[in-house]
Amino acid sequence: MTALREFKKVEDGMVHIKIPDDFESDEVEVIVMPKTDPMSKLDPYFEKRKEYLAKTIEDIENGKIKIYNEDEFEKEMDEFEKELVLKYDN
């Protein structure tokens, strides 16, 4: 599937989109939304969280952060608990 993404200025209530000649379909779905997220005006930390989440997703995709499924997590927590008991249970 070919997808296009562009930021356009609204002029006289209209947006003009140029479809490339080699576009593979004669019908498209158009979604119009503001370029600036309105939540950023209400929440001063919105952009920082958005950047943090984007970086986290990138790190997961690059293998820098491991994602555990439920079974893996439970196994890791069981091992951690055993280590704590051995270290502090005297």
Give the domain range for residue 76. Answer: 39-88
- Within the chain, residue ranges assigned H as helices are 39-42, 46-61, 70-88
User: What is the tens place of the pLDDT at every residue in 44-55?
Assistant: 888 888 899 999
3 band by pLDDT with thresholds 50, 70 and 90: confident
Tell me, yes or no, whether 46 lies in a domain. yes
Tell me, yes or no, whether 51 lies in a domain. yes
Tell me, yes or no, whether 80 lies in a domain. yes
Closest residue by Cα to residue 47 from 57, 36, 58, 56: 36
Tell me, yes or no, whether 8 lies in a domain. no
Tell me, yes or no, whether 83 lies in a domain. yes
pTM exceeding 0.75: no
The number of domains in the chain is 1
Closest residue by Cα to residue 32 from 12, 54, 6: 6
Report pLDDT for 12.
94
Please tell me which residue, 54 or 24, carries the higher pLDDT value.
Answer: 54
User: What is the tens place of the pLDDT at every residue in 36-81?
Assistant: 777 777 888 888 888 999 999 999 999 999 898 999 999 999 999 9
